[in-house]
Amino acid sequence: MKKFLTLTAALAICTAGVAVADPNLQSMMDDPNQWVSQTGDYKNQRYSKLDQINKDNVGNLQVAWTFSTGVLRGHEGSPLVIGDTMYVHTPFPNIVYALNLADEGKILWKYEPKQDPNVIPVMCCDTVHRGVAYSDGKIYLHQADTTIVALDAKSGAVVWSVKNGDPGIGETNTATVMPVKDKIIVGISGGEFGVRGSVTAYNISDGSRAWRAYSMGPDEDILVDANTTHLGKPVGKDSGMNTWEGDQWKIGGGTTWGWYSYDAEENMIYYGSGNPSTWNPGQRPGDNRWSMTIMARDADTGVAKWFYQMTPHDEWDYDGINEMILTEQEIDGKARKILTHFDRNGFGYTLDRVSGELLVAEKFDPKVNWATHVEMDKGSAQYGRPQVVAKYSTEQNGEDVNSTGICPAALGSKDQQPAAYSPKSELFYVPTNHVCMDYEPFRVSYTAGQPYVGATLAMYPAGESHGGMGNFIAWDGKTGKIVWSVPEQFSVWSGALATAGDIVFYGTLEGYLKAVDASTGKELYKFKTPSGIIGNVMTYAHGGKQYVAILSGVGGWAGIGLAAGLTNPNDGLGAVGGYAALSDYTALGGNLTVFALPN
Return the pLDDT at 3: 38
For the stretch 128-140, pLDDT in tens is: 999 999 999 999 9
| pLDDT category of residue 22 using cuts at 50, 70 and 90 | confident
- Find the mean pLDDT for residues 563-567: 90
Residue 9 in this model has a pLDDT that exceeds 60: no
Question: What pLDDT is stored for residue 15 in this prediction?
Answer: 38
55-100 pLDDT, tens per residue?
A: 999 999 999 999 999 999 999 999 999 999 999 999 999 999 999 9
- Record the pTM: 0.95
Query: Which range (75-79, 381-385, 579-583) has the least confidence?
Result: 579-583
Query: Beta strands 178-180 and 261-263: pairing type?
Result: unpaired
Among 432, 413, 422, which Cα is nearest to 517's?
Answer: 422
Per-residue confidence (pLDDT) for residue 19, from 0 to 100:
42
Mean pLDDT of the chain: 94
Q: What is the pLDDT of residue 119?
A: 93
* 254-287: pLDDT as tens digits: 999 999 999 999 999 999 999 999 999 999 999 9
Task: Give percent of the chain above pLDDT 90.
Answer: 89
| Number of helices (H), then strands (E), in the chain | 5, 40
- 493-534 residue pLDDT tens: 999 999 999 999 999 999 999 999 999 999 999 999 999 999
What is the predicted pLDDT for the residue at 464?
A: 61
Strand partners, 461: 435
pLDDT grade for 572, boundaries at 50, 70 and 90 = confident
Q: Alpha helices of 512-564 — where are they, by DSSP H?
A: 560-564
What residues are labeled active site? 317
Contact 93, 110 (CB under 8 A): no
Residue 289 and residue 239 in contact, taking contact as beta carbons nearer than 8 Å: yes
Cα 258-176-77 angle, rounded to 5 deg: 85
Q: Is 298 helix (H, G, I), strand (E, B) or coil?
A: strand
- In this prediction, residue 24 carries a pLDDT of 87
Parse the chain into domains and list their residue ranges: 24-596
CB 296 within 8 A of CB 305: yes
Q: Which residues, at least 6 apart from 30, have a Cβ–Cβ distance to it below 8 Å?
A: 41
For 125, half-sphere exposure in the C-beta direction (CA atoms, 13 angstrom radius) is 22
Across 189-197, average pLDDT = 96
Residue-wise pLDDT tens digits, 436-488: 999 999 999 999 999 999 999 999 999 764 458 999 999 999 999 999 999 99
pLDDT band at 398 (very low <50, low <70, confident <90, very high): low
Instruction: Assess if CATH 1.10.10.60 describes domain 24-596.
Output: no
